[in-house]
Structure 1
Amino acid sequence: MTGKLNVLGLSIAALMIVAQPALAADDPTGTWLTQAGDAKIKVGKCGANLCGNVVWLKQPIDPGTAKPAVDDKNPDRELAKRPIMGLQLFIGMHPDGANRWSGKIYNADDGQSYDSHISVADPDALKVEGCVGALCGGETWTRAK
């Protein structure tokens, strides 16, 4: 009887694993570690668009103020007081073809927003690109475990 229960238990466990929805190869949702490793960004659906918000910082406390890090590079004095934790980085990021989303990205390092495109390079790599006119630069974020 014990042998039959073990086989049944293993069969149920195997079915549960198979029944888990597979993460699509081009699904950008999830939590991503920036290329510099200093922040994690949670990407999720916001209606038809994508949102990307800061959910973890390597250095959440500003060493100069001993207070939580704020958006102090933002040229708008009011926005410069908002905390980095929870800050929305993707703005109006909408589908723009197969495995491509376009919109704006906010860069807290310089307080500016840029035209942006993201795509999933493989299930564990998100290509993030920001552009000023025709000049673009980017980095690759890795899926956080």
Structure 2
Amino acid sequence: MKIPALALMLSASTGFAAAAMPQPAANPIGLWQNPKGTLLVRTRYCGQLLCGNIVWASPKAMADARDAGVTSLIGTELLSDYRRSGAARWTGQVYVPDQGRRFYSTIEQKSANDIRISGCILGGLLCKRQDWTRQ
């Protein structure tokens, strides 16, 4: 039995056809802003690993980094060596410029436009997390 073209168009416009089609997986590649709006980080694949560099920083973020000995914040690799560790999850290292240190970290893709970055010490006993948004 053939479905009339009008019925097919109506079902597509109401979302029935879209619900049946597989949706593209969330992708961590892109431009992300931290919650305070003081950093923009561009993520990309570095070989088979995920990494991200600072492409913009507020004057306050640059001053905080300078106080910690980081002379040039723009271009700094904030996210490094992330490996996929599950569906929409990666593990690697996050660099905290105002502390001048790297920490064990996870990235969780919460939605297409939201990621959660966590940095931990003491084998994951103490963690801080931030929700970043796609720009």
Q: Does the 8 A contact of 1:25 with 1:122 survive in 2? A: no
Report which of the two has the higher share of helix: 2
Give the equivalent residue in structure 2 for 1:34: 34
Tell me if the contact between 1:126 and 1:142 (Cα under 8 Å) persists in the aligned partners.
yes
Q: Which has the higher strand share?
A: 2
After superposition, the Cα gap between the structure-2 partners of 1:139 and 1:113, relative to the gap in structure 1 and judged at 3 Å, is: same
Structure 1 CA distance for aligned equivalents of residues 34 and 62 of structure 2: 19
Which runs of 5 or more structure 1 residues have no equivalent in the other structure?
1-22, 64-68, 75-79
CA RMSD of aligned residues (A): 2.2
Q: How many residues align structurally?
A: 111
Could you tell me which amino acid in structure 2 is paired with residue 121 of structure 1?
K
Identity of aligned residues (%): 30
Cα 1:36–1:46 change in 2 (3 A) is: same
**Equivalent pair of 1:101/1:117 in contact (CA under 8 Å):** yes
Gaps of 5+ in 2: 1-22
Distance in 2 between residues matched to 1:61 and 1:110, nearest whole Å:
12
**TM-score (norm. length: structure 1):** 0.69
- 2:24, 2:54 → 1: CA distance? 23
